[in-house]
Amino acid sequence: MRYEDNPKSIKFYVKRFLHANKNFFKGKNVIDFPAGNGITSRILRDIGANPVPMDLFPEYFEIEGIDCKRANILDGLPISNKQADALICQEGIEHFSDQFGALKEFNRVLKKDGILLITTPNYSNLRAKLSYLLSESERFNSIMPPNELDSIWMSDQKITNEIYFGHIFLIGIQKLRVLARLSGFKIKKYHFTRIKVTSVLLLPLFYPFILISNWISYKRNMRKHGDYNYSTKKMIYGEIYKLSINPKILVGGNLMVEFIKDQDHKDVAKGLRSKHKEFGIT
């Protein structure tokens, strides 16, 4: 069975998303980064899109008739501003040492209202939360915490000075949301993929505490920050609260989040206010 036809693989859900939205993607320029072996680029071509694959190691790209460019996210993507209609970052952001910089770069190359689809191992499910509590590892009892023996997935100085890290930079839904927001994106939709059985078993035990704790935090913070009006706080804190208690996120195997670019990242700072207003300057 091919990866994209296996419900245990994230590629299955990305393929389903692309086919469900093929009318949007047809004729559009879609960056596939990191492209890996090229399965997603092939699917994009099959539905009539114009795939633009990029990867730190394009030597592993296997699809004939499509050129995969070498790209190091720390150096920026080799494409001009606002040239892409969509960008798919599939199982990549957890490898990036500068995730905020990566999201700003994604914003730079996308057109206004462009789509950014990010998939990543779900660091917000209950199994991941318990694993971090017990050992700060991705999966307790089977994987060691990030380390220099297991977490260097590729290092070939003949090709690039950049190290391809393993899952050192796992990211949960809340941090992904705020980094994306500060980069000019907002969540359009959260797509559920598949369940993690351990997380499902933990849900009845922990969910009441998650619900109550997050509700208390939400209500307390709604009473703070007089600089912001009630509707702004309700919108932002409400979104955070709903993500925190979403059962699908708490039991899901992967995060699969569809973002939309609603502003250039350079304009985001204009709407921000400093929490520390003086920084010790008199």
Residue 281 confidence (pLDDT): 46
Predicted confidence band of residue 86 (pLDDT cuts 50, 70, 90)? very high
Predicted confidence band of residue 179 (pLDDT cuts 50, 70, 90)? very high
Residue 1 confidence (pLDDT): 65
Task: Look up residue 44 and give its two tokens.
Answer: 């994009």
Is the CB of residue 86 less than 8 Å from the CB of residue 114? yes
Kindly report, residue by residue over 87-127, the tens digit of the pLDDT. Answer: 999 999 999 999 999 999 999 999 999 999 999 999 999 99
Residue 254 confidence (pLDDT): 97
Question: Considering only CA atoms, which of 10, 185, 186, 17 is closest in space to residue 106?
Answer: 185
Distance, CA of 34 to CA of 27 (rounded, Å): 21
Distance, CA of 36 to CA of 241 (rounded, Å): 35
Question: How many Cα atoms are found within 13 Å in the side-chain-facing hemisphere of 235?
Answer: 7
Token pair 């209950």 in the structure block, residue: 126
Distance, CA of 214 to CA of 245 (rounded, Å): 8
Average pLDDT on 250-254 reads 97
Residue 226 confidence (pLDDT): 74
Please give the distance of CA 60 from its chain centroid, rounded to a whole number.
22
Residue 278 confidence (pLDDT): 58
Distance, CA of 132 to CA of 139 (rounded, Å): 8
Whether the link from the prior residue into 247 is cis, omega within 30° of 0, is no
pTM: 0.94
Distance, CA of 262 to CA of 275 (rounded, Å): 24
Kindly report, residue by residue over 256-279, the tens digit of the pLDDT. Answer: 999 999 999 999 988 887 776 555
32 pLDDT higher than 90: yes
Task: Look up residue 68 and give its two tokens.
Answer: 């995969």
Sign of CA dihedral 135, 140, 141, 145: negative
Average pLDDT on 190-218 reads 97
Q: Is 148 helix (H, G, I), strand (E, B) or coil?
A: coil
Task: Look up residue 163 and give its two tokens.
Answer: 């190290």
Please give the distance of CA 260 from its chain centroid, rounded to a whole number.
13
Compute φ and ψ for 129, nearest 5 degrees: -60, -45
Q: Which of 36-45, 49-58, 146-155 has the lowest mean pLDDT?
A: 146-155
Is the CB of residue 108 less than 8 Å from the CB of residue 265? yes
Q: What are the Cα distances from residue 281, in Å, to 238, 273, 278? A: 34, 17, 5
259 phi-psi bin (left φ>0, alpha ψ -120 to 50, beta other): beta
